Structure 1
C-alpha cells in the first residue's frame, strides 16, 4: 500500500493531553496516538469514528 493510500492522521499540531488522556487538538487518546503508525486502514478508520464522537461530545459539553 502506498503512502497516498493510507488513512491520514487527524493531528492538527495542537498536542496536549487532557486529564482523561485525550488530545485537545485531534481528540485521540495517548494510546491511539502512540499506535497510529502501526495501525492498518480499518483500525485507523475505527479510531477516526471514536475521534468524531469525542469531538462532538466536547462541543456539546462546552
Structure 2
C-alpha cells in the first residue's frame, strides 16, 4: 500500500499564489495548483504533480523555470495514470 501524506499548508504560507489566485506579474505562469494538495512518499503532489521542492521554488522561479516545472509535473501525472 502506498503511503499518502496530507498537505500541512507548507506551500500556502510560502507561496500565497498557490492556487488561491493567479500570479499577477506579467509574463509569469499561473500556478498549476489545483487545490488537491496531497504529497506521496516521494514528496510529489498528487493534485498537480509538482515535487515539494518545485512547489516551494515556484514563487521565485523564472518564467522559463516555471514552464519546465509545469512540463515535468504534467509528465509525472501522465506517467502515474493507472488503467482502471
Same fold judged by TM-score > 0.5?
Answer: yes
Greater Cα radius of gyration, structure 1 or 2: 2
Aligned partners of 2:75 and 2:67: how far apart in 1?
A: 13
Q: Which has more helix, going by share of residues?
A: 1
Matched, 1:6 2:38: no
Give CA deviations for 1:3-39 in whole Å, capped at 9, x if unaligned. Answer: 2421111000111110110001110000000010000
5+ residue gaps, structure 1: none
* Length, aligned pairs only: 60
- TM-score between the two structures when normalised by the length of structure 2: 0.66
- Write out the 4+ residue segments of structure 1 that deviate beyond 3 Å after TM superposition: none
Partner of 2:62: 40
Alpha-carbon shift at residue 52 of structure 1 (Å): 1.2
Matched, 1:18 2:40: yes
5+ residue gaps, structure 2: 1-23
Q: 1:31 aligns with which of 35, 53, 71?
A: 53
Q: Which has more strand, going by share of residues?
A: 2
- TM-score between the two structures when normalised by the length of structure 1: 0.87
